[in-house]
Amino acid sequence: MNITLKDGSVKAYDEPKTVLEIARDISEGLARVACAGSVNGERVDLRTTISADCELSILTADDELGLATIRHTASHVLAQALKRLYPNIQLAIGPSVSDGFYYDVDSETPILEEDLEKIEAEMKKIVKEDYKIERFELPRDEAIKFFEDQNEPYKVQLIKDLPEGEDISFYKQGDFTDLCAGPHIMSTKGVKAFKLMKLAGAYWRGDSKNKMLTRIYGTAFAKKADLDNYLYVLEEAKKRDHRKIGKEMKLFMFSDMGPGFPFFLPNGMILRNELMGYWRKVHRENGYQEIETPVLLNQELWVTSGHWAHYQENMYTSMIDEQMFCVKPMNCPGSILVYQNQPRSYRELPLRLAEVGLVHRHEASGALHGLMRVRAFHQDDAHEFITMDQVSEEVQNIVRLITSFYDKFEFKYHIELSTQPEDHMGSDEDWEKATNGLKDALESMNLPYEINEGDGAFYGPKIDFHLEDCLGRTWQCGTCQLDFQLPLNFDLHYIGQDGAEHRPVMIHRVVFGSVERFIGILIENYAGKFPTWLSPVQARILPISDKFMDYAKEVEAKLKDAGVRAEIDERSEKIGFKIREARLERIPYMLVVGAKEAESGTVSVRSRFEGDEGAKNLDDFIKDITKEISERIRREDKINEEEGK
């Protein structure tokens, strides 16, 4: 038999081999770190015997599916520990998930957060005992009897729900046996780095009519260093939680009077307006015209656009003059009405219409999460109307514009090309043409991208930009979507050079996506320590005592005249307290003023970046800070550059 490996090389064998034996034949080092195999795209045990030609990949913890195998085995170790500590506990299911694993259990004895430590200790014993993990099968009736004898009703129900006629697979480790399709690593010793994270309630089978079970969450990695890094990121993420920082910095709030509808406070509006001011500047420079379209539009429009058929469960509606109106969940149909407002010529194309539109989408209450998932947000849309032969060049222009924004905020990113979903509008031929147009643009720019099969919008394929923040988390923000369907649905035309009518191609694109969500990402990425140009308060003046309030007001007036957002801390507190308060509020510059400063026309500068920077002439300080603001310099980057020289 011939085994084709991931690198394209072929291994030939005269007799059947297990996946582990083949891994060992490739290299002993690979065999030591192997977790599972992928045979013709299907994940299997290392103990699986291969007896025919196939494509084989050896999966390690560096592969998503390899790590999932370790985590699945960790869930069985958890179940075994629970059975030792709580003999009467009944087990439900225990899968791996994206960031770890869980096990659902039914326990007469309540399991509390403080019990996780002793459960972890028992798991460590099981790992140290190094039980070989063995797979076996039983006929359906025997499998049911096995779990009936063990008083495991949830396992019995799972088996009864499986198709008849198939043997049932089990995995055994020491004195513990569980129903499982696998795969698993070879022994419990391979579960080297794990931690139980939290408890939650979970209905059996996800049905609220069923009993509430206890769900125990954990995570596992191949190495302790990876686990430590994961726990560090979680802890750091708590400190950077935009909801916490937003409250501390008085940026935004929520009210029970409008769940999922954010309120921006004065400081938050400064931040948002500065962000959008930069957005408008870049768009003007790139030939965009800004428009605004109504929040409420007739249902008929949404039927024509296809949103009513594909998105109505997420839309808010209202009856006006006995007609159904919809609160817009997207801006695109409004832009189409603007396009239709007058006859269009090929000379106008590309026509780039930009809109920072307020959209509303109904999200389940359980999905709401600060600014990251809301029911009302501003989408920084642009809708472009172009000719077919302009597709590649215009998509390249859009990609360059989007990447310039992310570079400004120093986000790493990767690109995905999302293709035709099952629920789509239009012919396969149109979809193929649109998808190839996006591919051609990316490949012309030599940009690497991944294919995300079946995740396109219902009207066309799209390029998605996934940002990576300072903690390594990824966020889908920017997108560029090619659309042949809406111009067809709305019968859009332009007069071509030949004097005849032609149909334009439409591009939907955003840079930030949701402005609110992007602000949430910025808050967490910077931990609230915004670049000076974005900071709601850019300088706070700290008089040592009331005697120097007149000079403090003089400093404040000069700063404000220069366009700096400055304020005085007029409280009768000690200077050390005022400095600590300003640092907690993440203010870039603190200007201490007393007798010496008033006499010499200076300010004693303390910054968020370098601490005590000493006395500076006030005019010189204003020159420096206004340059930093006008050029949108991030001071940390400048310091890093100077240190690197």
At residue 226, the 3 state secondary structure works out as helix
From 381, 464, 469, 483, the catalytic residue: 381
Q: Are 219 and 269 contained in the same domain?
A: no
Say yes or no to pLDDT of 288 above 90.
Answer: yes
Q: Same structural domain for residues 482 and 557?
A: no
Phi, psi of 539 (to 5 degrees): -150, 135
Positive or negative CA dihedral for 449, 451, 456, 461? positive
Q: What is the pLDDT of residues 327-374, one digit of tens each?
A: 999 999 999 999 999 999 999 999 999 999 999 999 988 888 999 999
Q: Is residue 489 part of a domain?
A: yes
pLDDT tens readout for residues 594-632: 999 999 999 999 999 999 999 999 999 999 999 999 999
Rounded to whole angstroms, the Cα distance separating 502 from 493 reads 5
Contacts of 272 (CB under 8 A, 6+ apart): 264, 515, 519
CA distance 390 to 376: 34
Whether residues 517 and 549 share a domain: the answer is no
147 & 272 share domain? no
**Cβ of 390: how many Cβ atoms within 10 Å?**
18
User: What's residue 310's pLDDT?
Assistant: 82
**Percentage with pLDDT > 70 across the chain:** 99
| Structural domain contains residue 441 | yes
Helical H runs in 86-186?
A: 116-129, 140-149, 153-160
End-to-end CA distance of the chain: 59
Q: Which of residues 60, 85, 101 is at a domain's end?
A: 60
Q: Which helix (H) or strand (E) holds 384?
A: strand 376-386
Q: How many domains, the chain? A: 4
**Which amino acid, residue 504?**
P
Task: Tell me if residue 328 is catalytic.
Answer: no
Residue 244 maps to a domain: no
Q: Which of 35, 180, 332, 480 is catalytic?
A: 332
**Each residue's pLDDT tens digit, 561-591:** 999 999 999 998 899 999 999 998 999 999 9
Of 177-186, 187-196, 235-244, 467-476, least confident by mean pLDDT is 467-476
pLDDT at 643 over 50: no
> Which residue of the set 383, 565, 578, 634 is catalytic?
383
Q: What is the pLDDT of residues 159-189, one digit of tens each?
A: 999 888 789 999 999 999 999 998 999 999 9
- Name the active-site residue from 462, 578, 606, 635: 462
Task: Provide the pLDDT for residue 638.
Answer: 54
| Residue 1 confidence (pLDDT) | 86
Judge if 264 and 209 occupy the same domain. Answer: no
> Both 118 and 18 in a single domain?
no
State the pLDDT at residue 644: 46
pLDDT of residue 645: 42
Query: Is 534 within the bounds of a domain?
Result: no
- Is residue 65 classed as helix, strand or coil in its secondary structure? helix
DSSP state of 460: B
Candidates 80, 379, 390, 420; catalytic one:
379
- From CA 379, how far away is CA 328, in angstroms rounded? 11
Q: Based on the residue annotation, tell me whether 381 is a catalytic residue of this protein.
A: yes
Q: Distance between CA 405 and CA 408 in Å, rounded?
A: 5
The pLDDT assigned to 422 comes to: 86
Residue 96 domain-assigned (yes or no): yes
Regarding whether 591 and 503 lie in a shared domain, the answer is no
Answer yes or no: do 358 and 472 share one domain: yes
My answer on whether 481 and 521 are in the same domain is yes
CATH assignment at residue 618:
3.40.50.800
- State the CATH number of the domain containing residue 179: 3.30.980.10
Is the backbone peptide bond immediately before 183 cis, with ω within 30 degrees of 0? yes
Position 240 in a domain: no
Asked, for residue 472, whether it belongs to a domain, the answer is yes
Structure token digits, residue 250? 């008085």
What are the b/e assignments for 291-323, b being 16+ CB within 10 Å? Answer: bebebebebebbebbbbbebbeeebbeeeeeee
Same domain, 439 and 549: no
CATH code of the domain covering residue 44: 3.10.20.30
Domain match, 276 and 375 both: yes
| Residue among 17, 76, 508, 509 flagged as catalytic | 508
Please say if 145 is a catalytic residue: no
User: What is the domain-level CATH number for residue 479?
Assistant: 3.30.930.10
Average pLDDT, the chain: 92
Share of the chain above pLDDT 90, in %: 78
Q: What pLDDT shows up at residue 126?
A: 97
Residue 200 confidence (pLDDT) above 80: yes
What is the per-residue pLDDT for 7?
Answer: 86
**Residue 315 CA neighbour count, 13 Å, CB half:** 24
Q: Cβ distance 45 to 37 under 8 Å?
A: yes
In a domain, 408, yes or no: yes
Residue 361 designated active-site: yes
Q: If you average pLDDT over residues 418-444, what whole number do you get?
A: 86
Which residues form the domain of 547?
A: 539-644
In the residue annotation, 332 being an active-site residue is answered as yes
CA distance 347 to 361: 36
Query: What is the DSSP secondary-structure string of 570-606?
Result: -SS--HHHHHHHHHHTT-SEEEEE-HHHHHHTEEEEE
Which of the following is catalytic: 71, 242, 361, 586? Answer: 361
Name which of 353, 354, 475 is nearest 412 in CA terms.
Answer: 475
Q: In this structure, are 14 and 104 located in the same domain?
A: no
